[in-house]
Amino acid sequence: MRWIWLTWLSLSLGLCGYYGYQVYASDDKSHFLIGETSVGHFQIELECSACHSEVFGGMESVNESCIGCHAEELEDAHDSHPKSKFTDPRNADRVDILDARYCITCHTEHQPERTGEMGVSLPDDYCWHCHQEVGEERESHKGLAFDTCASAGCHNYHDNRALYEAFLLEHADEPVLKALARKKARNWRAWHQAVHPDTESLSSGSYPEQLETRFDSAAIAGIHQDWLGSAHAEAGVDCVGCHQVENEPVWTDSPGMNSCAGCHTLQTDSFQAGKHGMRLAQGLSAISPAMSRKIFTEESQSLELSCNSCHQPHQYDTRYAEVEACLGCHADDHSLQFSQSPHGQLWEQARTGLMPEDQAVSCATCHLPRETRRVKGHEKVWVNHNQNHNLRPNEKMIRSVCMDCHGLGFAIDALADQDLIQRNFTGRPAERIPSIEMAIKREQEAR
């Protein structure tokens, strides 16, 4: 019997040692996954503490982790269903139906068999359980299926700004294409001059002498020439500004994202909030196309995404970052159709000088939208580098992008047509979403 106990003890100690190593020392936590994670979280699924910040924290702990990543997004969306709505005693009966105080009530991870769009793990009729009277009392909604609230291009759980009735009525008569269709113009030069009025251009500057002893002088001369025409040169940022760690006389051949973050805080923060950089925000290695579940070009599979993946550090070429950098990796139908699409044709005209750039549409126009924020006391137009910010659900794109050029009705129809999206909006929407007509009819009935 003694050998049985010794064998059992040895196996137990071995298993404890193995799993202890996996928990505390190993980067591979795949043994602990209880199921596949959603498309929104699979990149960080091996960093368990990203969501499970406390071992026995329960729903409250996980909920805090959700808010930690998504609070700003929900605030920007003017969240239609905040937690405060369900902690209100007057809505106690609602909590009994659907306990929406917790994110994981609707977004349960590790259950792919019942997880759908937006990571929602509830059946499509979840709206009906609290709003069933709408289908009974509103003439415009009678006859609609109880599971179409969130699936027919009508309502979004967290962000309904583009579909509020007052907004629908305000923009009811807009044409397909507005007379003046253009996106926000970048103003970094004016902003930089306002914030740093004493900065002198270093466009005639030189590179550090010690570089000549470390690199081929001809190569350095070429880099220096590129830099002379860059935004960095114009803003007074020389070689040392990026290649030398602050307060330390250490030269870095390949500066990382921290170097960029010193000046581009908004951009780097938003980059790490999106799919391109979310692994970096959790202390993991950079994402590469080979890790993704989407379709990418063969030659890009091993590329690790960072600022320099899209931005050539010694040149000022945002046009490359706006289209070519995207198509260098993405090979899904929507991306491949860009060049032949109406948007792609506009971009080509801008690239060849036949059209002003602010009237053209690039990949970045829609997926990395320009926003205005007050920084250091002055309005700054900056590029939100969280490419997922207005993409899921895609109706969020209506206000921030589509309506710069298109009428509301056309934008709603276009974003609800999945085939049209795959063709990169070549053609017209196949169906008409009756949201505006419903709002007009309801207003007429109320008179």
Report whether 39 contacts 119 (CB < 8 A): yes
pTM for the model stands at: 0.87
> Which single residue is written with the structure tokens 């990149």?
43
CA–CA separation, 10 vs 121, rounded Å? Answer: 42
Task: Say if CB 196 and CB 375 are below 8 A apart.
Answer: no
Q: Give the 3-state secondary structure of residue 373.
A: strand
| Closest-CA residue to 372 (of 392, 400, 406) | 400
Mean pLDDT (whole number) for 39-48: 90
Q: Are 334 and 422 in contact (CB under 8 A)?
A: yes
Tokens matching residue 174: 């807009």
Reduced to 3 states, what is the DSSP secondary structure of residue 276?
A: coil
| pLDDT tens-digit series, residues 272-289 | 999 999 999 999 999 999
Q: What pLDDT is attached to residue 205? A: 47
Mean pLDDT score of the chain: 86
Q: What is the pLDDT of residues 7-23, one digit of tens each?
A: 777 787 777 777 666 66
Answer yes or no: are the C-beta atoms of 306 and 256 closer than 8 Å: yes
Q: What is the pLDDT of residue 216?
A: 67
**Mean pLDDT in residue range 146-160:** 80
Q: Is the pLDDT of residue 49 over 70?
A: yes
Among the residue ranges 38-52, 69-83, 135-149, 402-416, the one predicted with the least confidence is 135-149
Domain regions of the chain by residue span: 31-122, 188-405
Q: Which of the two residues, 139 and 406, has the higher pLDDT score?
A: 406
Q: What is the dihedral of CA 310, 40, 429, 424, to 10 degrees?
A: 20
d(CA 299, CA 265): 31
What are the structure tokens assigned to 157, written together?
Answer: 């759980």
Exposure of 373 by Cβ count < 10 A (0-12 exposed, 13-18 middle, 19+ buried)?
exposed
Our measurement of the distance from residue 15's CA atom to the centroid of its chain's CA atoms, rounded to an integer in Å, reads 40
Determine the average pLDDT of the residues in 235-262.
Answer: 80
Helix axes 435-446, 408-415, angle to 10 degrees: 130
Q: Which residues contact 125 (CB under 8 A, 6 or more apart)?
A: 146, 147
**By CB neighbour count within 10 A (0-12 exposed, 13-18 middle, 19+ buried), where does 228 fall?**
middle
First vs last C-alpha separation in the chain: 89
Tokens coding 390: 């207005």
Query: What tokens appear for 328 in the block?
Result: 């260098």
**Residue 199's pLDDT is what?**
63
Q: Token pair for residue 16?
A: 């404890």
Alpha-carbon span 303 to 232, nearest angstrom = 25
Nearest CA to 362 among 404, 396, 394, 395?
Answer: 404
What pLDDT is recorded for position 204?
Answer: 42
The 10 Å Cβ neighbour count of residue 10 is 10
The pLDDT tens digits of the residues spanning 287-333 come to 999 999 999 999 999 999 999 899 887 887 788 999 999 999 999 99
